[in-house]
Structure 1
Amino acid sequence: MKVQMNIDPGTTEDEIIITIKEMNTKVERILSIIHEEEECLFIPLQKDGRTYLVEPKEVSHVIFIENKCIAYRGKEQYRFKDSLKQFEERYSPYNFIRISKYCLANTVWMEYFEATFGGSLKLVFKNGEKEIVSRKYAKELKKILLKE
């Protein structure tokens, strides 16, 4: 990937031009950083009748259980009012990846993972929470994290 930067003190507004052959995860990350700077993005999470505005980096993972979408912020559990699919569509540029049919994980919060019987992985987060990475998503997780 080539990078060119022109500094022009006479310009009135910053402009970013990206020329790519096709969209890829690197470009998506770059775009998410650019957009993150443009807007103050928060995830609306509910608990005890209140709505909290939480930054994506504060959420370790989100699970879908008993027809509810639950987000983990440290050891605390909060309710996300929309579906897991909608969470994924909105917040995947903020380090969230799917690790199973029912779970999205924030790569920033991952402590370690280890192989389990049958090809799945046990993922442990920095907050002590644990989730299983299904075989279907284990290969992609390794590819992203280990650059395989």
Structure 2
Amino acid sequence: MKIVINKILEKLDIKESAIFNIFEVTPSIEKAISFLEESNYTIVAQNIDSEEFIQLKISDILYIEYLERRIFLYTKNSTLITKDSLSNFSKILPNEFVQISKSTVANSLYIKAFIAQKNGNLTLEIVGNEKLIVSRRYVANVKKTLQNISN
């Protein structure tokens, strides 16, 4: 069976394309197609340095923090803000995002390593050598998300 991903990408007005020749559509293949479709969702947020509003792919977000009634979106190159509640904003996020504390959500695809702490918390190291604390309450959820991604 031949699956042509570039048809999906054309609908999304994306110039990149890929052709996969596969013998059987397995759950893993379906998951990959779903990931490609979801990774192109965008939001509009304000860059905190230039105060300019830009369109940001959700898949480019490393992690999200809710502070002072605003959502801070951290990418490899910039920090952006938007106004919303964390619970509302979390509803639009793909399954790769996992809540790690009351006010922080991390993109599990950018997790490089994690270290267990004596107090039951975890420390996540994400791309860019940023370190985030996973509170005990959210450790099981993080482990579950990482297992789902690895399958």
Q: TM-score, normalised by structure 1?
A: 0.69
Equivalent residue for 1:86? 88
The answer (yes or no) to whether the contact 1:75–1:127 under 8 Å persists in 2 is no
In the TM superposition, what is the alpha-carbon distance from 1:84 to its structure 2 partner? 1.4
Could you say if the C-alpha distance between residues 57 and 135 of structure 1 is closer, same or farther in structure 2, counting changes exceeding 3 Å?
A: same
In the TM superposition, what is the alpha-carbon distance from 1:75 to its structure 2 partner? 4.5
1:64 aligns to 2:57 (yes or no): no
The answer (yes or no) to whether the contact 1:41–1:55 under 8 Å persists in 2 is yes
* Structure 1 CA distance for aligned equivalents of residues 106 and 99 of structure 2: 6
Equivalent residue for 1:142? 143
Q: Specify the structure having the higher radius of gyration (Cα).
A: 1
The answer (yes or no) to whether the contact 1:42–1:54 under 8 Å persists in 2 is yes
In the TM superposition, what is the alpha-carbon distance from 1:56 to its structure 2 partner? 1.4
Equivalent residue for 2:133? 132
Gaps of 5+ in 2: 2-26
Gaps of 5+ in 1: 6-25
* Structure 2 CA distance for aligned equivalents of residues 82 and 144 of structure 1: 24
Query: What pairs up with 1:39-78 in 2 under 5 angstroms?
Result: 41-47=41-47, 48-78=50-80
Could you say if the C-alpha distance between residues 112 and 34 of structure 1 is closer, same or farther in structure 2, counting changes exceeding 3 Å?
A: closer
Equivalent residue for 2:121? 120
Count of aligned pairs between the two proteins: 123
* Structure 2 CA distance for aligned equivalents of residues 143 and 42 of structure 1: 26
Q: Tell me, what secondary structure is at the counterpart of 2:94?
A: helix
User: Which one-letter code corresponds to 1:67 in the other structure?
Assistant: R
Could you say if the C-alpha distance between residues 107 and 117 of structure 1 is closer, same or farther in structure 2, counting changes exceeding 3 Å?
A: same
Q: Tell me, what secondary structure is at the counterpart of 1:141?
A: helix
* Structure 1 CA distance for aligned equivalents of residues 140 and 55 of structure 2: 33
The answer (yes or no) to whether the contact 1:121–1:135 under 8 Å persists in 2 is yes
Could you say if the C-alpha distance between residues 140 and 40 of structure 1 is closer, same or farther in structure 2, counting changes exceeding 3 Å?
A: closer
Q: Tell me, what secondary structure is at the counterpart of 1:91?
A: coil
* Backbone CA RMSD of aligned residues: 3.1
* Structure 1 CA distance for aligned equivalents of residues 98 and 79 of structure 2: 19
Q: TM-score, normalised by structure 2?
A: 0.68
